[in-house]
């Protein structure tokens, strides 16, 4: 093994900083995995509602010829945190 040269310390610090970030991500991934296996394993736990109406997908719809793909979904009231619900978005988060 050779002598340490100028700049080796900066490279080492850079690698250590990167390693710390990766280790923090691993902790978050394990936490997410734990929440998923505890709270989303059974199908009954994953259901947020049921589809009331879903017309066939249509192409070239309207004057700008957009694709139209939508559904009317009834949400189960006890599955949604209504204080944080943002409307046309359902954020499943880590819980």
Tell me, letter by letter, the H, E, C secondary structure of 50-72.
Answer: EEEECCCCEEEECCCCEEECCCE
Residue 19: its pLDDT value, please?
Answer: 95
Residue 25: its pLDDT value, please?
Answer: 94
pTM attached to this predicted model: 0.43
Q: How far apart are CA 40 and CA 36, in angstroms?
A: 5
Successive 10-residue mean pLDDT values, the chain, 95 residues:
69 91 94 84 83 91 84 86 74 64
Residue 28: its pLDDT value, please?
Answer: 92
- Which of 45, 74, 68, 64 has the alpha carbon at shortest distance from 56? 68
Residue 92: its pLDDT value, please?
Answer: 65
Residue 54: its pLDDT value, please?
Answer: 93
Q: How far apart are CA 9 and CA 15, in angstroms?
A: 10
């Amino acid at each position: 093994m050779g002598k340490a040269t100028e700049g080796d310390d900066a490279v080492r610090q850079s690698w250590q900083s990167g390693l710390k970030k990766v280790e923090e991500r691993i902790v978050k991934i394990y936490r997410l995995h734990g929440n998923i296996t505890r709270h989303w394993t059974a199908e009954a736990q994953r259901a947020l509602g049921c589809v009331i109406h879903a017309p066939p997908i249509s192409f070239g719809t309207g004057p700008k010829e957009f694709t139209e793909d939508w559904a009317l979904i009834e949400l189960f009231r006890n599955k949604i945190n209504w204080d944080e619900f943002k409307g046309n978005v359902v954020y499943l988060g880590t819980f």
